[in-house]
Amino acid sequence: MAAVVGSTCTELGLAVPRISIEPGRAIVGPTTFTLYRAGTVKTVRVDTADGGTAERRYVSVDGGMSDNARPVLYDADYSAVLASRKSEDDAVLSRVVGKHCESGDIVVRDVYLPADTGDGDLLAVPGTGAYCWALSSNYNYIARPPVVAVLDGTARLIIRGETEEDLLARDVDAASARPPEPLKE
């Protein structure tokens, strides 16, 4: 890229600018996925824009906005596939949602998943590599998940998942905590 910019600037008689590039998402994003375990699956009736109702199928997973804040922050669009087994069932329009009990905790807004997708199935959400882990949080006191690298069929833990002990490590023992200083007028 520097060579192309340099030669074009020379042709146009312009000074060559300093170029900085941050290609993280373009390089890392497509190479990774988040693996979720499905929990409850339910179908509900929802109101439609034309005043009618329609069915909407929800597939809950064991993560959500704490490990992928991009859908709620930026309206990022993801897909999902059933990863733990093969299914011959018809595909059903589904919404994959997180476990945080928030209206914005949607992992994948609309995706076709097999009708028999259910509790315990694994769902892979591709393209989550560049910023999802970096943006992860302990929202609702949920531990962050591990990061596993796979090369030539061999998996290697590169960041361990947080434990309950990790979450509680910063808590102050109530018996030894000092009361706050009174406000001064």
For the record, the structure tokens of 152 come out as 């030539």
pLDDT at 129: 82
The answer as to whether 17 is a domain residue is: no
In which band, very low, low, confident or very high, does the pLDDT at 13 lie, cut at 50, 70 and 90?
Answer: very high
Contact 12, 4 (CB under 8 A): no
Asked if the model's pLDDT at residue 53 lies above 90, the reply is yes
Catalytic residues: 101
Q: Model confidence over 57-109: pLDDT tens digits?
A: 999 999 999 999 999 999 999 999 999 999 999 999 999 999 998 999 999 99
- What single string gives the DSSP state of each residue in 75-99? ------EE-SS---SPEEEEEEE-S
The answer as to whether 124 is a domain residue is: yes
Q: Model confidence over 144-179: pLDDT tens digits?
A: 999 999 999 999 999 999 999 999 998 887 677 777
Cα radius of gyration rounded to whole Å, the chain: 23
Structurally, how many domains does the chain consist of?
1
pLDDT at 142: 93
Helix (H) or strand (E) holding 122: strand 122-126
Q: Residue 72 is part of a domain; what is its CATH number?
A: 2.40.37.10
For the chain, how many helices (H) and strands (E)?
Answer: 5, 8
The answer as to whether 48 is a domain residue is: yes
Domain with 77, as residue range(s), is 27-140
The answer as to whether 86 is a domain residue is: yes
Whether the full predicted model's pTM is greater than 0.85, yes or no, is: no
